[in-house]
Structure 1
Amino acid sequence: MVMNDFRLQSDALIIGSGIAGSVAALTLADQGRDVIIITAATDLKAGNTSLAQGGIVFQNENDDPKILEKDIMTAGWKHNYARAVRFIARKGPEVLKEVFLEKYKIPFNQRTPGDWYLTREGGHSLARILYCDDHTGRNIMEVLSEAVLAHPNIRVLTQRTAIDLLTTQHHAKHLDFKYDLSNHCVGAYVFNDQVGKVETILSKFTLLATGGIGQIYLHTTNTSGSIGSGLAMAHRAGARLMNCEYVQFHPTALYGGTKRGERRFLVSEAVRGEGAVLVNSKGERFMPRHDPRADLAPRDIVTRAIMDEMLETDDDSVYLDCSGINKDVSQRFPTIYERCRKMGIDMASDPVPVVPAAHYFCGGILVDTRSRTTLDQLYAAGECSCTGVHGANRLASTSLLEGMLWGYAAGHDMAARLSRSSQTLSRKLCDSIPDWVPHGIRDEDPALIAQDWANIRNTMWNYVGVARTGNRLNRAFADLRKLTKNLQDFYRETELSKPIIDLFHGSQTAYIITLAALRNTQTKGCHFRVD
C-alpha cells in the first residue's frame, strides 16, 4: 500500500538483496504477503553473494549431520552455539534440496542429472560442497534475482540506502508508545539516491540482510557496500550484538592487479581443496610446519601462517602452486584462471601470488534459529547476523548455506506471525511516525570523506587486523572514538547523501568491532591476541 510518494507501507521490509534477503522475500511472497526489498545498488546481484566462488555445503553419501557439526565446531574453536550448529547440520541440506535443487534448480555441476559433483575445502572431513565451477554465488543470484523481479508480491526498490531503523520508542510521537515498556521495529528511513530524498517505509516486520563489513579494512575481498550498515543501525536501535571481534581474513586473495583501496580478487579455498599447495618465494611448502592438516587447515590458521611466512622471508606475498591439481584448471576454475591470465600468470604452471584480506564477519546482530533479534519485529539473516554457527571462525562454504537457511526461516516465521490478526500497523502508530526532517545545510566535501575513510581503513588494518595487541587496540579505540564524535557533528551539519550515510555507518561499525576486540583478552579463532 502506497501512502504517498515518499511514504510507503508493506507487510515486510527487507534491507539487502543477497542470498538471505532474496530467499526470505520469495518465501514470504509465496505465502501471499506484500514485500518490499531494497538494495543500494542498481542491480539485485551486486552484493557479496555473487562473489562466492567455492560453493555451498550439502551432504556426502557417507556424511552424517554429526560429522558436519564436529567440523563446524572445530573450525569455530568450540565457541559456537550448539543449537544453531545442530540446526544447520540437520536442516540445512534438507532446505537446500527443497529450495535450490527442486524449486529454483540452481545449475550446480553434475555428472548426470542428480549425480552432483562434490568438492572438499579446508576444515571439512570429506567432500560435501556443491559448486558451479568457481562462480557458485553468481549462478545462485542470477536465478534468485530473476525470481524476485518476476514475483507479483515483491516490490524491488533499487538505489535505496537505509539510514535508520524506525522504532516505537525512538520515533513514535504518541505518548502511548513512549510509555510502553516494549520496543518494536516498524520499518526504516531510506534514502532514495535517484531523487535525493528520504522515504519513510513502514512495515509490520523488517529484515536486515545487509551483508558484511570488509570495506572498513584497507584490504578486502568484499564489495563496496560491505560497510556494516545493518550492524550500525541495529546497534543504535538497541538490538543485541554478539562476537563482533571475530573478523575472518581469507588467506588467499590475489596479490597485484588492483589499485589501492579496490576490492581484492578472491582465489577460492576450493583451489587448495582440489590439490593446490601454498609455497614461499623459494618454492618451499610451509603449511605442514604450522598444522597437521597443512593446506586444508581452517582459514584463521592458514592466514596467520601466511603472515608469519611473509614476515620471516620479508616477501610481499606467498604463492599457490596449482601443479598438483589433476584437473584442467581452466575448466574447473574458469573465472580465477582468466583473471590470472590477464595478469600474465598461467595458473596451471605459474605460482599464483596471494595475500590475506578481510573477508567474512563471524559476529553480528544476535538472532535465534527463526532469525528473530532481541528487538521485536526486527529480523536479521546472512552475514550481518550472528546465528552462533561460526563461533570464533567460519568453516568454508557454510556462509551460503547459513544465509539461505536463516532467510528461509525468517520468511516462514514472519508469514506465521502475519497470519495472526493482532500483527498489524495501527493507524495511530502510522500517524505517530514522522517523516524525515532534513537537518544539514552544508554540502558534502569529497576530500574530507575520502580522508575519513582512509583513517578508518588504515586504523582497522594496522591495529584491529590479523594480529592484535592491547596497545594497538587502545590506539584504535582512541582514534575511532575521536573520529566518530567528529562525524556526529559532520553528519548533523551536512546535507544528506549516500556517501555521508555510508561513512557514518562505517565509522560506527569500526568502533563497535574495535571495542569488542579490546574487551576480549583471550585468543580464539579470528581474534588473535599477540600479547
Structure 2
Amino acid sequence: MISCDVLVLGGGIAGCSAALRAAAAGASVVLVAKDALGESNTAYAQGGIIGMPPPEASDSPALLASDIEAAGAGLCRPEAVALLAAEGPRLCRDFLWREVGVPFDHTGSPEPDSTAEAAHSARRIWHVKDATGRAIQGALTAKVKAHPGIRILEEHALVDLLTVPHHSRDPRRVYDPIQVWGAYVLSPGRDVLMCLARRTILATGGLGYLYLHTSNPASATGDGLAAAYRAHARIVNCEYVQFHPTTLFVPGRPRTLLTEALRGEGARLINRKGERFMERYAPDRLELAPRDVVSRAIFQEMAATGEPSMFLDLEPLKTRLDLEARFPTVLETCRKAGLEPTAQPIPVVPAAHYFCGGVAVDLEGRASLPGLFAVGEVSCTGVHGANRLASASLLEGLVWGVRAGDACAREATGVQLPDPDDFAPWKHATGAPEPDPLLVEQDWTSIRTTLWNYAGIVRTRERLLRGRGDMGYLYHRLEAFYRAAPLSRTLLELRSGIICARLIMKAALQNPESRGCHYRLD
C-alpha cells in the first residue's frame, strides 16, 4: 500500500507540470506512468506550443481568445478560453522556458522564435524544430526525476479509481456520496497496488488508438476516461474527436504526424494532378483553415477521385527556409519510408489526433467527484469547444496542470486519509489461462474499424446506429472476458477501449447538429 498527498496518474505535460507544482508547494507526490516516464502523447507533438508573441507583433490575449473560439465553432467555454489566453503564454515563458529549461529555437532574439499555424491570426507558436513535444517532455521528465518530493512508479497501469462507496468494505457506506481516495494500479509484476491519496489527478491522455488511422501511439487507449466513467464522474463532449489533416500515408505502415507548421510556413495541399484543391473548400484561409475543415476537404477529395491519399507539396518552402534545419523530423520520417520530400509531394491522409471531450472540470481541474481532478487530454475544460486550435493542447495541459497541482497541494493540507483496511483489496481471476493474442487483436480490429467507418470524419445516423449495436454486443462479450481472465495491461486497455468507443458512439448519435469536428452528413 502506498499513501501520499497527491497522486498523479500520467506523465505528459499536464501530469508532470501538476506533480512539479504540487511538490514545490510541499505536498508528497506519487506519479504513475503507464510506460517509462517520458513516453506520452506529449512527446509526439511536433509543431509547437502557443508562447509569448514578439513585442512588435500585433497580438494580444483577446486576439488569441478570438482565434480559439473561432476554431471551437461556438462551443468554447468563454471563461476557460480567457484564462488560457491570459495565463498560458506567460507560463510557457516563465515555467517551461525559464524554470524547466525547454530549449525553444532562437535566432539571436531575446525571446524564442515564433512561427504560424492554421487558424492563428499571428505568429505566436514557439517550437523546437519540428520535435517540440519531445523537447518539452524531456525537460519535464528530467525535472520530475530530480525532485526529491516526487516518487515515480513507471510501467504501472491504472486499474480503477479508489472510491467510497464502490470499494468500501462496509456496505453501509452505500449511503455516502462518492469520494475519490486514490487508485488501484497494476505493477509490472501484475500485483495490484492500492495507492491512497488525499487528492488524485487524472492526466492519462487521450484515446486516438481507438481509431484505425491515428497519429497517436498504441498506449492512447482512454484508460483515465474509462475509469472516470466507471466511478460516475461527469463526462461531456465525447462526439468531438479531432482528425489531423496531414499524416504520412504509406500503405501497410502506421500513420505518422506531419506537423501543421509545414502548412503554417506555406506548404500546399494538392491532388494527384497537382491542383490546389483548398480553394474550393476554404478560399479565405486555404491550407490554414481550421483542422476540421481541412480534414473534411481531404476526405471529400479522396472520395471524389477514388485516390487513397492527397499530397502535401513543400516546394513553396524551399526558397525561404532551410528545410533540413527547420523540419528534420519530417524529412527523416519521409526518407525512412522511401520518399524524398524535397523532390516530390508527400502523400497524406487525415487521422484521429485529439479528443476534445473528456472529464468535465472547473478552472482548477476539479471533476464532479470530490477528491478527483483531471488535466490534459483526458479532461474537458471547455477551451477547445467543438474543435481544437492548433498548438493549444500543450498549453491547456500546462495551464491546468499547474493550476491543479497548486490546488491539490493546498486542499490536501489537513485532510485525514481513511484507514486502508476500510477498503477491499483488489480481486481478479487467478489460475485462468492468458487471453488468446489472436482474439485480443481481433477485438481491437473490431473497435478501431467500427469507429473509423461509423464515427469517423463524416457520420450519419444509420452508421452510428449500426456502430452502437456492434459495440454494445462486443462490450458485453469483453466484460465477461475481463472478469474471467488474469489481469494484465492488455486486458485493461481493451476494456478501456470498448468503454470509450461506446461513449463516442452514444454522444455522436445523440447530437444531430454538425459542429466543428462532429460532422453529420444527414
In 2, Cα distance between the equivalents of 1:175 and 1:528?
46
| Selected match of 1:298 from 284, 290, 294 | 290
Residue identity matched to 2:203: A
Amino acid at match of 1:192: S
Q: Alignment identity in percent?
A: 45
Aligned to 2:510: 519
Of 148, 159, 166 in structure 2, the residue corresponding to residue 163 of structure 1 is 159
SS of the residue aligned with 1:110? coil
Letter matched to residue 298 of structure 1: P
Q: Pick the aligned partner of 2:193 from 189, 199, 205.
A: 199
2:417 aligns to what?
425
Contact 1:214/1:360 (<8 A) preserved? yes
Corresponding residue of 2:222:
228
Query: Which region of structure 1 is more displaced relative to structure 2, 97-106 or 278-287?
Result: 97-106
Residue range with higher mean Cα deviation, 399-408 or 168-177 = 168-177
Cα distance in 2 for residues equivalent to 1:524 and 1:333: 33
Where structure 2 has 5 or more consecutive residues not aligned to the other structure, the ranges are: none
Change (3 A) 1:418 1:113: farther
Amino acid at match of 1:185: V
Note if contact 2:455-2:508 (Cα within 8 Å) is conserved in structure 1: yes
**Aligned counterpart for 1:276 among listed residues 247, 263, 267:** 267
* SS of alignment partner, residue 319 of structure 1: strand
Which structure 2 residues correspond to residues 62-211 of structure 1 after superposition, within 5 A? Answer: 62-112=58-108, 114-174=110-170, 177-180=173-176, 182-193=177-188, 195-211=189-205
- Give yes or no for the alignment of 1:286 onto 2:281: no
Give the aligned residue type for 2:207.
I
State the one-letter code of the partner of 1:463.
Y
Whether the 8 Å contact between 1:218 and 1:461 is mirrored in structure 2 is yes
Output the CA distance in 1 between the equivalents of 2:256 and 2:296. 19
Q: Distance in 2 between matches of 1:95 and 1:115?
A: 14
Distance 1:175 1:503 in 2: 30
Q: Is the 8 A contact 1:211 1:384 kept in 2?
A: yes
Question: Equivalent of 2:26, from 25, 32, 40?
Answer: 32
The secondary structure found in structure 1 opposite 2:301 is: helix
Name the SS of the counterpart of 1:479 in structure 2: helix
The Cα shift of 1:257 comes to 6.5
1:113 is displaced (CA, Å) by 5.3
Q: Quick one: distance in 1 between partners of 2:119 and 2:428?
A: 50
Q: Secondary structure at the match of 2:330?
A: helix
Q: 1:340 is matched with which residue: 334, 343, 356?
A: 334
What is the Cα deviation at residue 524 of structure 1? 0.3
Q: State the one-letter code of the partner of 2:41.
A: N
Q: How does 1:301-380 map to 2 (within 5 A)?
A: 301-325=293-317, 326-380=320-374
* Kept in 2: contact 1:365–1:373 (CA 8 A): yes
Aligned equivalents of 1:347, 1:470: Cα separation in 2: 40
Pairing 1:9–2:3 present: yes
* Cα distance in 1, alignment partners of residues 503 and 150 from structure 2: 33
Distance 2:298 2:518 in 1: 16
Q: CA deviation at 1:410?
A: 0.4
Q: Which residue of 2 aligns with 1:389?
A: 383
Letter paired with 1:486: R
Q: Which residue of 2 aligns with 1:482?
A: 473
Secondary structure at 1:476 match in 2: helix
The letter for the 2-side match of 1:233 is: A
Question: What TM-score, normalized by structure 1, do the two folds share?
Answer: 0.95
Distance 1:141 1:59 in 2: 20
Measure, in 1, the Cα distance between the counterparts of 2:186 and 2:288.
44
What is the CA RMSD across the aligned residues, in angstroms? 1.2
Name the structure 2 match of 1:52: 45
Say whether the 8 Å CA contact 1:438–1:495 is kept in structure 2. Answer: yes
Superposition deviation, residue 63 in structure 1? 1.1
Shift of 1:58: 1.5
CA distance, structure 2, for counterparts of residue 402 and residue 192 of structure 1:
30
Contact 2:47 2:259 in 1 (8 A): yes
How far residue 441 of structure 1 moved from its aligned partner, in angstroms, is 4.0
State the distance in 1 between where 2:388 and 2:46 align: 16
Native 8 Å contact 1:257 1:343 kept in 2: no
Distance 2:216 2:292 in 1: 17
Confirm or deny: 8 A CA contact 1:19 1:404 kept in the other structure. Answer: yes
On the 8 A contact 1:123/1:396 being kept in 2, the answer is yes
Q: 3-state SS of the aligned residue for 1:528? A: coil
DSSP 3-state at the match of 1:369: coil
In structure 2, what is the equivalent of residue 4 of structure 1?
none
Q: Distance in 2 between matches of 1:93 and 1:311?
A: 40
Counterpart secondary structure, 2:342: coil
Q: Is the 8 A contact 1:75 1:123 kept in 2?
A: yes
- Total equivalences in the alignment: 515
CA displacement, residues 119-162 of structure 1 (integer Å, 9 cap, x when unaligned): 11000011000000000000011111011111111111111000
Q: What SS class does the counterpart of residue 121 from structure 1 fall into?
A: coil
